[in-house]
Amino acid sequence: MNKWILSGVVIVFLLIGLGGCGSDSDPDSVTNDKIIVGQYFDGTKYLSCYWNGTTRTDLADLPGLNSTAFAPGIMSNGVVYTAGRYYDNPKYIPCYWAGTARQDLVGDGTHNAFAQAIAVSDGSVYTGGMYYDGTNHLPCYWTGTVLTPLESSGSSYSAVNAIKVSGGSVYSAGYYYDGAKYVPCYWNGTTRTDLAGDGTHSAFVYGLTVSNGTVYSAGSYYTGAYHIPCYWEGTTRHDLPAVTLNSAFAADITVSGGVVYTGGYYYDGAKYIPCYWAGTSRTDLPGIGTNNAFVGAITVSGSTVTTLGQVYDGAKNIPCYWTGTTRTDLQADTLENFRVTFPILAPPT
């Protein structure tokens, strides 16, 4: 069932140049176009790339080293920015790419670190992720190359999945482990605000936006039997409709014209179906036959909703985007070698 996730290469999703600027209706919120980002296997190692429209651009090669760019990437002033990591034995090194030029970041200097989200404001690059200090995985963001650790209550595992700049403040969102479950949260600067799942089981935030001073977070919470997609308006949770008793996930969020839009996917008992919600009204998107597909990012321009994701054709994974409900497939490899690296598809266990 999960062949589309586990096979070959990684595709990370971002909407770039697919419908204009993002649509957060807050004049103080810095909006970056979202870009499709991914990864493919060249027969020797994993290479990162992005798509501008339907054209793929490979990121700077690291001879002999695997790299992973995470979605979404963003476009700012004509430059594509992507966040990620690469493996340089014995550790993973966080980094971002401006165009195809790589900038390394640092965690504690000794252990693994990852950059999973990116934003640009007033010429400064902000990346969010985590670093390992030898004992715990700690949430953080970087301003340029300067590391800012975030409050996590001594959690053994915590991460930032999304980052946004609004009104001069840096907002980041993700989760932390409280010793019994994963708790969804967002940070305003370094101050953490916890969000509520069902109070007993784990929940996660994957997408973030800020509109008119209100923080909107997208994610899911576990009931003990399945995941329910949702978004939080401030700290108020809104559940989204899917198929009863089957798991579903909200991966990204934006606000346009006072309406909250979320993108994600749900399981119908046989396959995963990509979709988006306008408020709580769900629109299903076409995949290929009876195979899995998903949405990892969403943007709105005027009345047009554009979503980014991936479909499986029965042999290989294909990156794509939907304009409304019309799907456009993107250049991929002819081999079955794509795998998803979007943070929502690899939550901690």
pLDDT of amino acid 317: 84
pLDDT at 146 over 70: yes
Q: Which helix (H) or strand (E) holds 24?
A: none
Which of the residue ranges 4-13, 40-49, 301-310 has the most confident prediction, judged by mean pLDDT? 301-310
For the residues 257-280, what does the mean pLDDT come to?
Answer: 97
- pTM, two decimal places: 0.90
Handedness of CA 318, 278, 273, 341 (dihedral sign): positive
Helices (H), the chain: 3-6
pLDDT at 264 over 70: yes
Question: What is the number of domains present in the chain?
Answer: 1
Q: Which helix (H) or strand (E) holds 35?
A: strand 33-41
A 10 A CB-CB count for 127 gives 31
pLDDT at 165 over 80: yes
Which residues, 6+ apart, have CB-to-CB distance to 75 below 8 Å? 16, 17, 32, 33, 34, 35, 52, 81
Q: What is the DSSP string of 66-97?
A: -EEEEEEEEEETTEEEEEEEEEETTEEEEEEE
Helices (H), 271-331: none
**Range of lowest pLDDT (59-63, 252-256, 326-330):** 59-63
pLDDT of amino acid 341: 60
Provide the 8-state DSSP code for 273.
E
What whole-number percentage of the chain has pLDDT above 90? 67
Name the amino acid, one letter, at 77.
N
pLDDT at 118 over 50: yes
Which is nearest to 31 in space by CA: 232, 299, 343, 235?
Answer: 299
Which is nearest to 39 in space by CA: 310, 226, 326, 321?
Answer: 310
- Give 25 or 257, the one with higher predicted confidence: 257
For the residues 292-309, what does the mean pLDDT come to?
Answer: 94
For the residues 252-272, what does the mean pLDDT come to?
Answer: 97
Q: CA 176: distance to chain centroid?
A: 17
pLDDT at 344 over 60: no
For the residues 209-229, what does the mean pLDDT come to?
Answer: 97
Instruction: Look up the CATH number of the domain holding residue 103.
Output: 2.130.10.150
pLDDT of amino acid 18: 41
Mean pLDDT of the chain: 87
pLDDT at 23 over 70: no
pLDDT at 41 over 50: yes
- Domain holding 200, by residue range, is 3-345
pLDDT of amino acid 339: 54
pLDDT at 137 over 80: yes
pLDDT at 167 over 90: yes
